[in-house]
Chains A and B, each alone.
Chain A
Amino acid sequence: MVEHIHSDGEEPAVTLDAFLSQSNATAVRLEPDEDARALIPHLDRLALIEVAFPKFRDGRGYSSARILREAGYAGELRAQGDVLVDQIAYMKRCGFDTFAPEKALNPADVEAALARWPEHYQGAADGAVPIWKLRHG
């Protein structure tokens, strides 16, 4: 299920460089220009990957999220930053399961946005069955 606010008291996410050079961190923060694939050898020990969205128009984080899920990452994948209600349905499809928006979102709007799409045309990282598959059973 999707959580909208992350829990307190968790381990702070370290930068990708710090993570790659220190072996005990279990939470990492990925900036838009950082290669998500650098984390693939370490997914087992990660509990949280926080993907930064400094500006909502910068869509690199969507690819980062899918790449991580496609590589089998099963831990928490959080979208942090300029995360707006109109983006979260797409973010969820790309594999994000938690959201840490800089500006609080109206929970009713969030619920409406996530419930908006009855089905989806294309496969992504959320496990939804694409429409073409529904059509052909």
Chain B
Amino acid sequence: MYKYDEYDHAMVDARVAEFSDQVRRRLAGEITEDQFKPLRLMNGLYLQLHAYMLRVAVPYGTLDSRQMRMLAHIARKYDRDYGHFTTRQNIQYNWIKLEDAPAILEDLASVEMHAIQTSGNCIRNISSDQWAGAAADEITDPRPWAELLRQWSSFHPEFSYLPRKFKIAVIAADEDRAAMRLHDIGIQIVEKDGQHGAAFYVGGGMGRTPMIAPLIKDFVPLDDMLSYAEACLRVYNRYGRRDNIYKARIKILIHELGADEYRRQVEEEFKHVKSLGIDPPKAEFDRIAAQFAPPPLDASAPDAIDRSDPDFAVWVDQNVAAHKAPGHAIVNISLKPIGGIPGDASSAQIDLMADLAEKYSHDELRVTHAQNIVLPHVRKADLYAVWQALDAAGLATPNLDLISDIIACPGLDYCSLANARSIPVAQKIATRFSDLGRQKELGELKLKISGCINACGHHHAGHIGILGVDRKGTENYQLSLGGSGAEDVSLGTITGPGFDEDGVVDAIERVTDKYLAERTEGERFVDTFRRVGMAPFKEAIYG
């Protein structure tokens, strides 16, 4: 894991001091809300439906137990004893007081954490593969690259007032676990002639105009990566639309220019930027990479798992993934108990996961874009003990990637931009499909819910997506099918007229029944949909 040095500490401390001063000036009436809002947003502080909300960055989703415990401490001391893990691998607190915000940021800084650039029209927290460093299929650990980008983008003087927010994801495996191509810049670390470099996909995103990022450059060597990113951003900062907030994301610029013209402008800017010497030497990458060295795994860890407890065996089959080292496994902790609130965890649960990480996972945890938590390096021999502890805390729901592993944004229960509530719909669907045998029969099925067109719940990328809309003052839900945020990335298609809350649950049941009737051997839901198309599903839903 990356450890701050004196410079990193000084930067975060300076930011805490700066924001404390800004809060003081706001409370004293020296600045207006209009002036303060972009400043608080750049520190992750929103004004939401019920109170201020604080979004804390979890860079590339990686945490150690001390940091995780701090998240629990903040929930307990300053909030209402829980936090919400988000699709951008961050955590949000829903009941923060403005006057407490400086103290919270100070507490976070003490464990090398912050809320910097988790909102605002700047480069946001950089997300990554939650299995980085553990996945059997990665070519390298993507996190050193992400950390390099994190430092470059932090307090970037030119790119803090972009036309709109800017999100970057970095992965290093062909299997895409981070929705890489649905980011403003998606980077895949690839290998060419024995060297690692960055493939740049630029201009993806969700929101009201979802787009899949086109490949802009297939291989940017490490030595050029920051210059190339700088060129991509500069073209956007200069020419991205500022006349209409809904057209201000980079995806619109690239769509309007065309990928080829955007690439041409970036290449030209890159030639110039490259001469400025902004790329750090290899030694800096090596310094960072050394801190992501694999943990000292037990080379003699046995490979066998005692599956005699049937409940445990079910969980192993569903929630435990292959690790690159023999005798080890990746544990995926579901924050989706049937009928619960997707992504929420209590302080006690957060503390427990921290304890388990310290004891069994080389002190590491990850947050996933599917709003779950990962213990990346667990000995197979310890799985049973881990499972028992999770089970006792209500954290052993064996539903990873099944229909009840629902991504849901906070929706109208918390979010001031929402049209409809997301959470109650998620709860009803999970309850309807609570039978595990039925869920397993349906297989991998990614269901994603957003409470409005901003698409924080990734509904466009759901095998089944649900979007909350406002129909004459009542909550209404549109259904879409066939999206994916993985390497088979695609955008969902709307089925037709929307439904009320119970209606959408019924419609999903008709859709899944249709899938079971239509599928051929080995087909996932989304495969069947792609093969047979919308018509049979539409027929099943609307008759």
Question: Shortest CB–CB separation between residue B233 and chain A, in angstroms?
Answer: 9
Query: Closest residue to B5 on the A side, CB-wise?
Result: A135
Are A59 and B35 interface neighbours, CB within 8 A? no
B interface footprint on A37-63 (CB within 8 Å = 1, 0 otherwise): 000000000000000000011111011
Is residue B271 contacting chain A, with contact meaning CB distance below 8 A?
A: no
Is residue A86 contacting chain B, with contact meaning CB distance below 8 A?
A: yes
Among A1-9, A17-25, A73-81, A116-124, the stretch that binds chain B is: A116-124
Pick from B5, B14, B152, B272: contact of A70, CB below 8 A.
Answer: B272
B interface footprint on A110-135 (CB within 8 Å = 1, 0 otherwise): 00110011111111100000111111
Is residue B96 contacting chain A, with contact meaning CB distance below 8 A?
A: no
Query: Closest residue to B226 on the A side, CB-wise?
Result: A122
Output the residue of B38, B161, B237 with the most chain A CB within 10 A.
B161
Are A60 and B238 interface neighbours, CB within 8 A? yes
Are B161 and A57 interface neighbours, CB within 8 A? yes
| Band of interface residues on A | 35 or more
Is residue A29 contacting chain B, with contact meaning CB distance below 8 A?
A: no
Are A123 and B276 interface neighbours, CB within 8 A? yes
Given A56-B161, A123-B277 in contact, is the A118-B238 Cβ separation under 8 Å?
no
Question: Shortest CB–CB separation between residue A2 and chain B, in angstroms?
Answer: 14
Is residue B234 contacting chain A, with contact meaning CB distance below 8 A?
A: yes
Is residue B301 contacting chain A, with contact meaning CB distance below 8 A?
A: no
With a cutoff of 8 Å between Cβ atoms, the chain A residues found around residue B152 in the complex are: 121-122
Total residues of chain B contacting the partner, CB 8 A: 41
Given A117-B14, A134-B7 in contact, is the A63-B158 Cβ separation under 8 Å?
yes
With a cutoff of 8 Å between Cβ atoms, the chain A residues found around residue B17 in the complex are: 116
Are B7 and A62 interface neighbours, CB within 8 A? no
Question: Shortest CB–CB separation between residue A31 and chain B, in angstroms?
Answer: 12
In the complex, A106 Cα to B24 Cα: how many Å? 15
With a cutoff of 8 Å between Cβ atoms, the chain A residues found around residue B151 in the complex are: 121-122, 131-132
A interface footprint on B229-251 (CB within 8 Å = 1, 0 otherwise): 00000100110001000000000
Are A57 and B121 interface neighbours, CB within 8 A? yes
Are A131 and B7 interface neighbours, CB within 8 A? yes
Given A57-B38, A90-B160, A93-B157 in contact, is the A132-B280 Cβ separation under 8 Å?
yes
With a cutoff of 8 Å between Cβ atoms, the chain A residues found around residue B162 in the complex are: 59
With a cutoff of 8 Å between Cβ atoms, the chain A residues found around residue B208 in the complex are: none
With a cutoff of 8 Å between Cβ atoms, the chain A residues found around residue B30 in the complex are: 106
A-B contact count (CB 8 A): 102
Are B237 and A59 interface neighbours, CB within 8 A? yes
Question: Shortest CB–CB separation between residue A118 and chain B, in angstroms?
Answer: 5
Question: Shortest CB–CB separation between residue A3 and chain B, in angstroms?
Answer: 19
Are B284 and A135 interface neighbours, CB within 8 A? yes
Are A136 and B10 interface neighbours, CB within 8 A? no
Are A62 and B280 interface neighbours, CB within 8 A? no
Given A116-B17, A117-B14, A123-B278 in contact, is the A66-B155 Cβ separation under 8 Å?
no
In the complex, A135 Cα to B272 Cα: how many Å? 26
Query: Closest residue to B275 on the A side, CB-wise?
Result: A70
Are B276 and A116 interface neighbours, CB within 8 A? no
Is residue A84 contacting chain B, with contact meaning CB distance below 8 A?
A: yes
Output the residue of A66, A70, A109, A112 with the most chain B CB within 10 A.
A66
Are A119 and B158 interface neighbours, CB within 8 A? no
Is residue A94 contacting chain B, with contact meaning CB distance below 8 A?
A: yes
Are B157 and A119 interface neighbours, CB within 8 A? no
Question: Shortest CB–CB separation between residue B328 and chain A, in angstroms?
Answer: 33
With a cutoff of 8 Å between Cβ atoms, the chain B residues found around residue A89 in the complex are: 157
Are B238 and A63 interface neighbours, CB within 8 A? yes
In the complex, A132 Cα to B278 Cα: how many Å? 10
B interface footprint on A81-107 (CB within 8 Å = 1, 0 otherwise): 000101101110110000000000010
Given A59-B237, A62-B237, A132-B280 in contact, is the A119-B11 Cβ separation under 8 Å?
yes
With a cutoff of 8 Å between Cβ atoms, the chain B residues found around residue A62 in the complex are: 157-161, 237
Are A63 and B11 interface neighbours, CB within 8 A? no
In the complex, A36 Cα to B22 Cα: how many Å? 32
Are A118 and B10 interface neighbours, CB within 8 A? yes
A interface footprint on B209-245 (CB within 8 Å = 1, 0 otherwise): 0000000000000000010000000100110001000
Supplied contacts A59-B162, A117-B11, A136-B287, 14 more A-B pairs, CB within 8 Å: A56-B35, A58-B242, A59-B158, A59-B237, A63-B158, A70-B272, A86-B35, A91-B157, A112-B21, A116-B17, A119-B7, A121-B151, A131-B151, A136-B284
A interface with B by C-beta (< 8 Å): 32, 56-60, 62-63, 66, 70, 84, 86-87, 89-91, 93-94, 106, 109, 112-113, 116-124, 130-136
- Top 6 nearest A-B pairs (CB, nearest first) are A59-B161, A93-B157, A132-B280, A90-B157, A132-B284, A123-B278
